[in-house]
Chain A
Amino acid sequence: MKLFEIAHSRAGDKGNTLMLSLIPYKESDYDLLISLCTAEKVKNHLKDIVYGEVVRYELPNISSLLFVCNKALSGGVTTSLALDTHGKSLSYALLEMEI
Chain B
Amino acid sequence: MKEKIRIGGGAGFSGDRIEPAVLLAQKGELDYLVLECLAERTIALAQKRKMADPSKGYDPLLEKRMEALLPFLIKNNIRLITNMGAANPLAAAKKVIEIAQRQHVRVKVAAITGDDVLEIIKQNASSLKELENDKTLDNYDLISANAYLGADVIVKALNTGAQIIITGRVADPCLFLAAMIYEFDWDPSDYDLMGKGTIVGHLMECSGQITGGYFADGVYKKVSGLENLGYPFADIFPGGSAIISKIEGTGGVVNLQTAKEQLLYEVLNPNEYFTPDVIADFTKVHLRESGNDEVHISGGSGKEKPSTYKVSIGYKAFFLGEGEISYAGSFAYERAKLAADIIEKRLKEKFAELRIDFIGVQSMHKSTFGNPVVPYEVRLRVAAKSETAEEAALIGEEVEALYTNGPAGGGGARKCVNEVVGIVSTLIDRNSISPQVTIFQS
Contacts and interface: CB of A to CB of B under 8 A. Distances in A.
B221 interface: yes
Contacts of A97: 369
A57 B272 CA distance: 12
B287 interface: yes
A59 B355 contact: no
Contact of B267 (A19, A48, A84): A19
Interface string A60-99: 0110101010000000111101111000011011001100
Interface in A1-57: 4, 8-10, 12-17, 19, 21, 23, 25, 45, 48-49, 57
B420 interface: yes
Contact of A68 (B269, B282, B367): B269
Interface residues of A, number: 38
Contact of A66 (B257, B267, B318, B364): B267
In this complex, the member of A12, A17, A45 whose beta carbon has the largest number of chain B beta carbons within 10 angstroms is A12
B264 interface: yes
A82 B366 CA distance: 10
Interface residues of B, number: 53
Nearest to A17: B268
A16 B132 contact: yes
Interface string B31-52: 0000000001100000000000
Contacts of A13: 266
Contact of A59 (B283, B318, B369): B283
B421 interface: yes
A79 B316 CA distance: 10
A43 to B, nearest CB: 14
Given A10-B261, A16-B132, A78 B41 contact: yes
A84 B318 CA distance: 18
Nearest to B283: A59
B357 interface: yes
A48 B166 CA distance: 43
A45 B370 CA distance: 11
Contact of A78 (B270, B299, B317): B317
Given A16-B132, A48-B367, A8 B282 contact: no
B384 to A, nearest CB: 7
Contacts of A62: 260, 263, 285-287
B284 A76 contact: no
A81 B320 contact: yes
Contact of A79 (B285, B286, B318, B425): B318
Given A48-B366, A83-B359, A76 B264 contact: no
Contacts of B264: 10, 12, 19, 21, 23, 59, 64, 66
A77 B40 contact: yes
Contacts of A89: 364-365
In this complex, the member of B40, B264, B282, B318 whose beta carbon has the largest number of chain A beta carbons within 10 angstroms is B264
A96 B371 CA distance: 9
B169 interface: no
6 contacts: A12-B267, A15-B424, A21-B260, A48-B365, A57-B283, A93-B365
